[in-house]
Chains A and B, each alone.
Chain A
Amino acid sequence: EVHLSESGGGFVQPGGSLRLSCAASGFNFNLYGMSWVRQSPGKGPEWVAGIDGGGDNTYYADSVRGRFTISRDNSKNTLFLQMSSLRAEDTAVYYCAKEVEYIGSPLFEYWGQGVLVIVST
């Protein structure tokens, strides 16, 4: 059974940094692309960043490019999102999501439960 579990969320001041992790199990982690998707209160989901199965190719939404970095450690079946220069508009529940292919297919077959990030003074 596929299981995705996010951690690392919390409260941070504007301009601060936070690192999210996502522990994966139940599938061959290195064979699938992974993404981070966020959802602000009252809004639809927003894709944030994606990475291919080997970690060689990364993709970002314009809203986070240059501030967020997605990475993965296939030896530990873990996905990361390093967030810096955080803004109030980054406040959201962040989900990690398993894609259906190794690369280039941001269809999200499984999602984690999500972790809340609040950026505020």
Chain B
Amino acid sequence: ETVLKQSPDTLSLSPGERATLSCRASESVRSRYLAWYQDKPGQAPRLLIYGASSRATGIPDRFSGGGSETDVTLTISRLEPEDFAVYYCQQYGNSPPTFGGGTRVEIK
């Protein structure tokens, strides 16, 4: 199966700063079918980005994605207080679908 490695494990930043999260796949993911989710305690995970770079419905434009079939990034241009959470990447181009281990974005 395709293994996804996220880095860093934790990102300590202040509101207003830029966050850059990385996700590396162990093999090429078909059609760049890579996604990012936001996970907060007590809430359902939320889809942010799909197809490596397309924002899901209702997602603010401070969230952006990019990259290749093996390396993708999630950028949050200016952190808002509600953005401090855990973020997971997922690939859905290869079978079975798999997730990364997550990056925690915490308040510095």
Interface of A toward B, CB cutoff 8 Å: 4, 43-47, 59, 61-62, 95, 100, 105-114
Contact = CB atoms under 8 A, between A and B. Distances in A.
B interface, over-half SS: loop
B100 to A, nearest CB: 6
Interface stretch (B12-20, B44-52, B63-71, B75-83): B44-52
A114 B44 CA distance: 7
A95 B44 contact: yes
Given A46-B99, A106-B92, A107-B35, A95 B50 contact: no
Contacts of A44: 4, 6, 88, 99-102
SS class, residues of chain A in contact with chain B: loop
Contacts of A4: 44
Nearest to A100: B50
A55 to B, nearest CB: 19
Given A44-B99, A105-B92, A107-B92, A112 B44 contact: yes
Given A44-B99, A44-B102, A111 B45 contact: yes
Given A44-B88, A45-B88, A110 B44 contact: yes
A6 B92 CA distance: 23
Contacts of A108: 35, 37, 45, 47, 90
A43 B47 contact: no
A47 to B, nearest CB: 5
Contacts of A109: 47, 56
A100 B33 CA distance: 13
A107 B89 CA distance: 11
Contacts of A95: 44-45
Given A107-B50, A109-B56, A47 B96 contact: yes
B98 interface: yes
A80 B51 CA distance: 28
Nearest to A60: B96
Nearest to A45: B99
Please provide the 5 A-B residue pairs with the shortest distance between their CB atoms, ordered closest to farther.
A106-B97, A111-B44, A44-B99, A45-B99, A44-B101
